[in-house]
Each structure stands twice: as structure tokens, then as C-alpha cells.
Amino acid sequence: SQELEQSPQSLIVQEGKNLTINCTSSKTLYGLYWYKQKYGEGLIFLMMLQKGGEEKSHEKITAKLDEKKQQSSLHITASQPSHAGIYLCGADPTYSGGGADGLTFGKGTHLIIQP
Amino acid sequence: DAGVIQSPRHEVTEMGQEVTLRCKPISGHNSLFWYRQTMMRGLELLIYFNNNVPIDDSGMPEDRFSAKMPNASFSTLKIQPSEPRDSAVYFCASSPNYGYTFGSGTRLTVV
């Protein structure tokens, strides 16, 4: 079965600083999803990557999938208090990449933004 | 669109009692997923349905857990009898075969 390891497990960053969260897979990633979860709430979709070398951005958040498709990184530029929460990566274990058979998730990275 | 709706938001029950969690997926989404989130194990897929048919329930931890989807707009996850180790946040998600939308979850506490 596919396993996803996220690092770091938790991160405390001063407001305005940049940060990076990593997601490493034990197998090839056919579809890699990034979600954000606020404490006590559901998961909010951020981005989905499929192609090796692909990079997507949404506001100040950029996600990349490496060429070998076994690692993804999430980068936040000029962090703000609204970025605080738990970031989870999820992978589709099948070739379809669409997640129709369920996603496997990492355990998440807890991000705290200090004013 | 109201999104994926789960009820109740919070449930506290005594060990041995039956618990039923409910989910209304987004209209038109043909796949529905039940996940459980704990600090120790993270987010785990319990079972998923495609066009109301259960496809894979290998993630259901024990026979105490059962899930149904009687129609395209409603699903339930039942635990009978409940145990303290079932305490977790249970999420429902729906998908139109590409991408997911999650509900806000049900926080279950079994005492």
C-alpha cells in the first residue's frame, strides 16, 4: 500500500516569513492533492498535481511535484495568520489520478503563525 | 450549493450504545467516501460508494461498523456497539469522479 510521509510534523513560523512543507511517497504519485484543515473543521481543497515537474499556485501558496513523481512540496510566501492550520497531502494509489477509489493521506503538518 | 452536509457535528455517547452518523453528498456527485481522523493514525479511508454501491470496505475496522447508501443523496455510518477507541472525527466526502469535497465532520466521543 502507498504511504505518505509529511515533514515537518509541526511548524511555527513568524508572520511574514516563507515556509515549505514536504510530502514524500513510498510509490509513484499519479495524483497528489493538497488540502488545508482548520482546527475542528473539514478539509479544504488547495491544489492537485499530476504531471512530473508540475507547479501550481494559488494566491501565496505554490505546490510542486518533482520529476520522479514521488515527492511534492508546498511553499507559502510571506505567511499570514490565515495560513495557520493543518496541511495534508493525499495521493491517489491508482493510475487514474482522479481519486475515484479513495485517497491515502499523510498525517499532516500543523502550521502555527506567530504575529 | 450547500456542500457536503454531515450530522450531527458533535456526538457524545456511552460505551455500548449505537451511533449513527449521517451524510448528504453534493448533488450530482456519484462517489461517496467515509474517512476517520485520529491523532495517532491520521485520516483513514473506511469505505466508499460509487453510484450508491459499496465498492471497498476494507478500511472498516470491525464488524461493529456498517455503512449504507440507500439513495444518491444520503448515507449513514453506524457503529454498534460503540467503544471508547472509536472516538474520532468522522468525515464524509463526495466526488464527481475527480477531486473531493469534504464535509465538516462529526466529532464522536465515546465515554
Tell me which residue in A42, A44, A105 faces B105 most closely, judged by beta carbons: A42
Q: Which residues of A touch B101 (CB under 8 A)?
A: 45
Q: What is the CA radius of gyration of chain A?
A: 13
For residue A72, the model assigns a pLDDT of 96
Residues of chain A where predicted confidence (pLDDT) is lower than 70: 95-100
3-state helix, strand and coil shares in percent for chain B, rounded to the nearest 5: 5, 55, 40
pLDDT at A95: 62
Q: How far is A50 from chain B (nearest CA, A)?
A: 12
Q: Check residue A83 and report its DSSP letter.
A: G
Cα distances from B4 to residues A66, A88, B44, in angstroms, run 32, 19, 18
- Taking CB atoms and an 8 Å limit, are B103 and A98 in contact across chains? no
Q: How many degrees, rounded to 5, is the angle at CA A39 between CA B4 and CA B77?
A: 40
The Cα–Cα gap between B41 and B45 comes to: 11
Give the chain A residue whose CA is nearest to the CA of B59.
A102
Q: Chain-wide mean pLDDT for chain B?
A: 94
Q: Is A32 helix (H, G, I), strand (E, B) or coil?
A: strand
Indicate the pairing of strand A109-114 with strand A10-14: parallel
Instruction: Output the CA–CA distances (angstroms, integers) from residue B76 to B3, B22, B28, B38, B84, in the order listed.
Output: 17, 5, 18, 20, 20
DSSP A50: -
pLDDT at site B80: 97
Q: pLDDT band at residue B1, thresholds of 50, 70 and 90?
A: low
Encoded amino acid at B24, one letter: K
Q: What pLDDT, on the 0 to 100 scale, is given for residue A1?
A: 73
Closest CA–CA distance from residue A42 to any residue of chain B (Å)? 4
Phi, psi of A82, rounded to the nearest 5 degrees: -70, -15
CB contacts < 8 A (A, B): 54
pLDDT band at residue B60 under the 50/70/90 scheme: very high
- Sign of the torsion formed by the C-alpha atoms of A88, A92, A93 and A99: positive
B97 contact partners, CB below 8 Å, separation of at least 6: A98, A100, B30, B31
Kindly report, residue by residue over A32-59, the tens digit of the pLDDT. Answer: 999 999 987 889 999 999 888 899 998 8
Distant-in-sequence, close-in-space partners of A75: CB < 8 Å, separation ≥ 6: A18, A19, A20, A21, A61, A62, A63, A64
Nearest to B42 among A44, A100, A105 (CB): A105
